[in-house]
Amino acid sequence: MRLLLVRHGQTPSNLHHLLDTAAPGPGLTALGEAQAAALPEALAGEDIEALYASTLVRTQLTAAPLAVARGLGVLVRDGIREVAAGDLEMRPGRSPEGERYLRTVFAWAAGDTALRIPGGESGAEVLARYDAVVAEAAADGARTVAMVSHGAAIRMWTAARAGNVDVAYAAARPLENTGVVVLEGSPATGWNALTWEGATVEPAGEGGPAGEPLDPLAGPPDTAGRRGPAPEPPGGTGR
């Protein structure tokens, strides 16, 4: 299966760099609406057979123009919503709280899935719900599936599940609004990322940036005891 993970269009909370993860969440800005309207042309080369969005309204608004252009219904699933910020909800992404959020998210991708965001989810819980939606899509037999989801969730899931994307690679590459990660594979055989916002991702074992070491973002210092350069903070057009 070819899997297109699409980040939603810009929201007001992106402009203010806020950890805004609760349902139903904000709508799109004027720019976000324009980004959504541009998706059908941007994905014109993709033979999309199924289209999913999360329970947060911004993904459904982003998916709507693509759904109309392709004559598809939008399958709304809670499993591909953003990683819940819990007690960090509505905190600035460019703050210690925002850094803790992303450090925890990328620690999950590195394997520390028992870690939990304060008042929020564990990595095991987030991966399980995201995996379930991907498995549903694969079981339905569509050859190309687009899922309109969220920046942290897409980057974490891809780093955890794609054999040629590690934590360092995903942490260094925030997704712009309506940015797309394209993967190929299946729940049974595993996944490989083909492109990240249009840039080719090197196959596993062939060097390149996907082969960078995992050490920069292993987990929050107070829980995993490991430190490294701060990840790109959530918020703005890049989160």
- For position 204, what pLDDT does the model report? 63
Q: Which of 82, 97, 121, 232 is catalytic?
A: 82
Cα–Cα distance for residue pair 115/107, rounded to 1 Å: 8
Residue whose tokens read 């959020």 = 101
Q: Is 8 among the residues known to form the active site?
A: yes
> Which residue among 8, 17, 150, 232 is the active-site one?
8
- Evaluate if residue 167 carries a pLDDT over 90: yes
Minimum mean pLDDT range among 32-36, 107-111, 222-226: 222-226
Q: Residues 86-114: what's their mean pLDDT?
A: 96
- Is residue 17 part of the annotated active site? The answer reads no
- The mean pLDDT value of the chain amounts to 89
- Distances from the Cα of 145 to the Cα of 5, 93, 161, 175, angstroms: 9, 30, 17, 19
Classify residue 86 by burial, with Cβ atoms within 10 Å: 0-12, 13-18, 19+.
middle
Domains in the chain: ranges and CATH: 2-238 (3.40.50.1240)
Closest CA to 54 of 147, 182, 146: 147
| DSSP state string for 44-97 | TT----EEEE-SSHHHHHHHHHHHHHHT--EEE-GGGSPPP-GGGTT-BSSSHH
Is the per-residue pLDDT at 230 higher than 60?
A: no
Model pLDDT for residues 52-71, shown as the tens digit of each residue = 999 999 999 999 999 999 99
Distance, CA of 71 to CA of 67 (rounded, Å): 6
- Assign 182 to helix, strand or coil: strand
